[in-house]
Structure 1
Amino acid sequence: MDEDRIEGAAKNVGGKIKEGFGKLVGDTKIETEGKADQVEGKVQNTWGGAKDALRDKDAA
């Protein structure tokens, strides 16, 4: 598994926590940052998945 997939998943989870905290305390800036972190994490995870697929294809 590519390192980008792991880091992306972690950013996604961290973003969800940050978004939830922002909602809890009523801070829209923190909430928005959390949503942005989630998007960044999903993109990084997708990139890692693509690299995995290429690596697996080359190994076959």
Structure 2
Amino acid sequence: MDKDRIEGTAKQVKGKIKEDIGKVTGNAETEAEGKAEQAVGKTQDTVGKLKDAARDALKK
């Protein structure tokens, strides 16, 4: 598993927590930051998946 996948997943979780805190506290800025962090995490996770796929393809 690529480190980008691990870091991306961690960012998604952190972003979701931040988004939920923003919702509970009524802080739209924190909620938006959480959503943005989740998007970055999803992108990083996708990059990691592509790297894994490329490595697997080269092994064959």
- What is the TM-score when the length of structure 1 is the normalising length? 0.98
In structure 1, give the amino acid aligned to 2:48.
G
After TM superposition, where is structure 1 displaced by more than 2 Å over at least 4 residues in a row? Answer: none
CA distance in 2, matches of 1:52, 1:10: 18
- What is the TM-score when the length of structure 2 is the normalising length? 0.98
What residue is the counterpart of 2:47 in the other structure?
47
What residue is the counterpart of 2:21 in the other structure?
21
What residue is the counterpart of 1:8 in the other structure?
8
> Unpaired runs of 5+ in structure 1?
none
> Unpaired runs of 5+ in structure 2?
none
Task: Give the alignment's Cα RMSD to 1 decimal.
Answer: 0.3
Aligned residues with identical type, % of pairs: 57
CA distance in 1, matches of 2:51, 2:30: 31
Q: Residue 55 of structure 1: SS of its match in structure 2? A: helix
Number of equivalences: 60
